[in-house]
Amino acid sequence: MTSVLQAIPNTISMASVPLPEHPIVWSAYAVKGGIGKSTLTANIAFTLRVLNPMYRVCVVNADSTRVVQQCLGIGRDQQELTQDLYDVLQGAVDWPSVRVASPFGVDVIPLGPNRHEAARELNSKAVQTLVRNLMDHYDVVLIDLHPGAQALIPWLGVIQSVLLPVTLNASGVEAVLDTVDDLQTWRRQGLSIPDIAGVVINKWDGRMRIAKNWLDQLERVLPHEWIYPWAIRNTTAIEHAETAWQPILRESSASAQEVGRALQLITQRWLTYAFAR
């Protein structure tokens, strides 16, 4: 797996990451939690700003765990919110009044505490209205969804493409393959389903030889260009970044620079995919 990273360039120029002509709406989608969906969302949001500081990026937190807010440096004083995404979707407030600016230059539409049921039962018309409004103000809108198909349904028609994070073990690979089948079935039924832009190997369990077997199984079923490398095992979140690209990770890693280069590659490929749509 690390051999894949040898092809990653040390730097990617800002010129290769232009602003999109039309706003982009993305999501990292997973049928279960704990595989790095929110971390991937936060890291890509931050990476967009690193690759081109002109990018206007907004993260909508629709996951009741609120991990993405923590990853983006929103402190505990802002975690205990009196008004949030749910209030916006209920029509009680406008979205700018709940927006929180992350120290990483990314805006967040947060979710407050004790919203577990609300995160699963959002009104699709209100969701679409919110996203259309955000697209008037941002170049990229990233949606951090609660895990599971039920959480995705209200966002159908507004999310343009998804990345599928995977843990290389039996249940992780099975979940990704089932997700691909489900999305393709929904599309055949006439639903407006987001494109699958790729599968991101977020972490792996056990010995590398066993993980490689699961990777081989994925590659037999999915297009090779769908599968993106993720550099470091058990990476959780960025704590802070004091220089142009020096991500400091909560858990120790072999090389923070490898993480940075992998994120650059994943983000650039996703942008290339979006520009080609």
What is d(CA 175, CA 173) in angstroms, rounded to the nearest whole number? 5
Contacts of 184 by beta carbon, 8 Å cutoff, 6+ apart: 193
pTM attached to this predicted model: 0.83
Rounded Cα gap, residues 39 and 259, in angstroms: 12
Q: Are 144 and 41 in contact (CB under 8 A)?
A: yes
User: 107, 99 in Cβ contact below 8 A?
Assistant: yes
Domain ranges of the chain: 21-276
pLDDT in tens, the chain (277 residues): 333 333 344 455 555 678 899 999 999 998 888 877 888 898 889 888 888 889 999 999 999 888 888 888 886 555 567 789 999 999 999 999 999 998 888 999 998 877 766 655 678 899 999 999 999 999 999 999 988 888 888 898 899 999 888 877 888 888 888 888 888 888 899 988 888 888 887 766 656 567 677 777 777 777 766 776 553 333 333 333 333 233 333 333 445 556 666 677 778 778 877 877 6
Run of H or E residues at 138:
none
| Domain 21-276 grouped into CATH 3.40.50.300 | yes
Please give the Cα distance from 210 to 191 (Å, whole number): 37
